[in-house]
Structure 1
Amino acid sequence: MNKNFWAIFIGIMFLLAGINHFVMPGFYLQIMPPYLPFPMALIYLSGLAEIICGALFIPKQSRRMGAWLIILLLIAVFPANIQMSIDEYQNGGWLFYGSVLRLPLQFLFIWWSYKFTK
Structure 2
Amino acid sequence: MSTGTALSSNRPAVALAALLGGMGVLHFVAPKPFDSIVPKALPGKPRTWTYLSGVAELGCAVAVAAPKTRRLGALASAGLFLAVFPANIKMAADYRDKPLAQRLAVYARLPLQLPLVAWALRVRRSAM
Note if 1:112 corresponds to 2:119: yes
Alpha-carbon distance in structure 2 between the residues aligned to 1:32 and 1:82? 10
Q: CA RMSD in A?
A: 1.5
Note if 1:74 corresponds to 2:53: no
Percent identity of equivalent pairs: 33
Note if 1:86 corresponds to 2:93: yes
Q: TM-score, normalised by structure 1?
A: 0.92
Query: Paired residue for 1:35?
Result: 41
Query: Paired residue for 1:23?
Result: 29
Q: Displacement of 1:23 after TM fit? A: 0.7
Paired positions, count: 118
Query: Paired residue for 1:103?
Result: 110
Note if 1:45 corresponds to 2:52: yes
Query: 4+ residue stretches of structure 1 with deviation over 2 A?
Result: 90-95
Alpha-carbon distance in structure 2 between the residues aligned to 1:91 and 1:34? 20
Alpha-carbon distance in structure 1 between the residues aligned to 2:18 and 2:49? 21
Give 5+ residue unaligned stretches, structure 2. Answer: 1-6
The structure number with the bigger radius of gyration is 2
Query: Paired residue for 2:65?
Result: 58
Q: Displacement of 1:94 after TM fit? A: 4.4
Alpha-carbon distance in structure 1 between the residues aligned to 2:113 and 2:101? 20
Alpha-carbon distance in structure 1 between the residues aligned to 2:91 and 2:31? 14
Pair 1:90–1:35, CA change in 2 (3 A): farther
Give SS of 1:90's match.
coil
Q: TM-score, normalised by structure 2?
A: 0.85
Give 5+ residue unaligned stretches, structure 1. Answer: none
